């Protein structure tokens, strides 16, 4: 369980970065939903639409970068165990808010 402090530290740093620079929110959420999808098939099915949404938002800003590869490499580098429930909730809430009438 030595990974959990590392994961928590990284999530805190990413969250702090996202709060100071709102443009990184999409990247943080793409990484967070990607980490959630790596947990099991049921979670993957539930978060795939939100993950695709954030990848799409990133691609709309920069279509020269392959954001799927960027997110996958960030996940591999940091060896994310499980995403922060609070951060995941924030990302999923924002995603859901875009489809409310």
Share of the chain above pLDDT 70, in %: 72
Dihedral sign from CA coordinates of 32, 36, 37, 42: negative
pLDDT: is 13 or 74 the higher one? 74
- What per-residue confidence (pLDDT) applies to 54? 96
- What per-residue confidence (pLDDT) applies to 99? 86
Tokens of 14: 């990413």
User: What average pLDDT score do residues 31-51 get?
Assistant: 89
Q: For the segment 83-93, what is each residue's pLDDT rounded down to a tens digit?
A: 788 999 999 99
Q: For the segment 10-37, what is each residue's pLDDT rounded down to a tens digit?
A: 555 555 554 445 568 999 999 999 988 8
């Amino acid at each position: 369980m030595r990974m959990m402090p590392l994961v928590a530290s990284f999530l805190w740093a990413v969250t702090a970065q996202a709060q100071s620079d709102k443009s990184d929110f999409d990247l943080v959420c793409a990484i967070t939903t990607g980490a959630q999808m790596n947990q099991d098939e049921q979670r993957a099915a539930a978060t795939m639409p939100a993950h695709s949404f954030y990848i799409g938002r990133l691609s709309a800003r920069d279509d020269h970068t392959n954001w799927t590869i960027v997110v996958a490499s960030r996940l591999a580098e940091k060896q994310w165990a499980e995403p922060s429930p609070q951060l995941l909730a924030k990302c999923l809430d924002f995603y859901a808010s875009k489809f409310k009438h």
